[in-house]
Structure 1
Amino acid sequence: MNKGYLIAFIVIFLVIVGFIIYKAKQKINLPSGKVTQTQEIAGQSGTMQNPILGKPQVKISTSRGDFVIELRPDVAPKTVANYLAKFSTGFCQDLTWHRVEDWVVQGCDPKGNGTGGESNLSTETSNESFLVGGVGVARKASPKEFSNDSQFFIVKKDSQFLDGEYTYFGKVIEGMDIVNKIQIGDKIISTTILSK
Structure 2
Amino acid sequence: MSDSKNTAPEIKGDKLVLELPEGKVVIVLRPDLAPKHAERMKLLAQEGFYDGVKFHRVIEGFMAQGGDPTGTGSGGSSYPDLPAEFTKKERFERGTVGMARTMNPNSANSQFFIMFEACPSLDGEYTIIGQVIEGMEHVDKLKRGSGASGMVKEPDVIKRAYIEE
TM-score by length of 1: 0.69
CA distance in 2, matches of 1:70, 1:133: 11
Q: Distance in 1 between matches of 2:26 and 2:120?
A: 22
Q: In structure 1, give the amino acid aligned to 2:136.
A: M
Query: Mean alpha-carbon deviation: is it higher for 119-128 or for 69-78?
Result: 119-128
Q: Which residue number in structure 1 is paired with residue 32 of structure 2?
A: 74
Report the AA paired with residue 59 of structure 1. Answer: V
Runs of 4+ in 1 over 2 A off after TM superposition: none
Matches for 1:89-128 after TM superposition, within 5 Å:
89-102=47-60, 103-117=62-76, 120-126=81-87, 127-128=89-90
Secondary structure of 1:97's partner? Answer: coil
Aligned residue type for 2:98: G
The Cα of 1:179 is off from its aligned counterpart by 0.5
Where is the strand percentage greater, Structure 1 or Structure 2?
A: 1
Q: Is residue 130 of structure 1 aligned with residue 127 of structure 2?
A: no
Q: Match of 1:88?
A: 46
- For 1:149, the equivalent position in structure 2 comes to 109
Q: Quick one: which of 171, 176, 195 aligns to 2:131?
A: 171
Measured in 2, the distance between the counterparts of 1:65 and 1:113 equals 24
CA-to-aligned-CA distance 1:143-192 (integer Å, 9 cap, x gap) = 22x13211000000011210110000100000110001011310111012
CA contact (8 A) 1:70 1:172 kept: yes
For 1:147 and 1:171, locate their aligned partners in 2 and report how far apart those are by CA, in whole Å.
Answer: 21
Q: Residues of 1 paired with 2:142 and 2:22: CA distance?
A: 6
For 1:120, the aligned partner's letter is D
Whether contact under 8 Å (1:64, 1:186) holds in the other structure is no
In percent, how many aligned pairs have the same letter? 40
User: Which structure is higher in RCO with an 8 Å CA cutoff and minimum separation 6?
Assistant: 2
8 Å Cα contact 1:63-1:188 kept in structure 2: yes
Q: Which has the larger radius of gyration?
A: 1
Q: Gapped runs of 5+ residues in structure 2?
A: 1-9, 144-151
How many angstroms apart in 2 are the aligned matches of 1:60 and 1:128? 23
- Unaligned residue ranges in structure 1 (runs of 5+): 1-52
Taking the TM superposition and a 5 Å limit, the aligned residue runs for 1:32-43 are none
Say which of 54, 63, 70 aligns to 2:11: 54
Shift of 1:64: 2.3
Matches within 5 A, 1:13-28: none
Quick check: 129-138 or 180-189, which moved more? 180-189
SS at match of 1:82: helix
State the AA in 2 paired with 1:60. L
Q: Which amino acid in the other structure matches residue 63 of structure 2?
A: V
What is the CA–CA distance in structure 1 between the aligned matches of 2:67 and 2:11, rounded to whole Å? 24
1:99-154 Cα distance to aligned partner (Å, 9 max, x none): 0111100001011011001671111001210110000000001x22x132110000
Residue-pair matches, total: 141
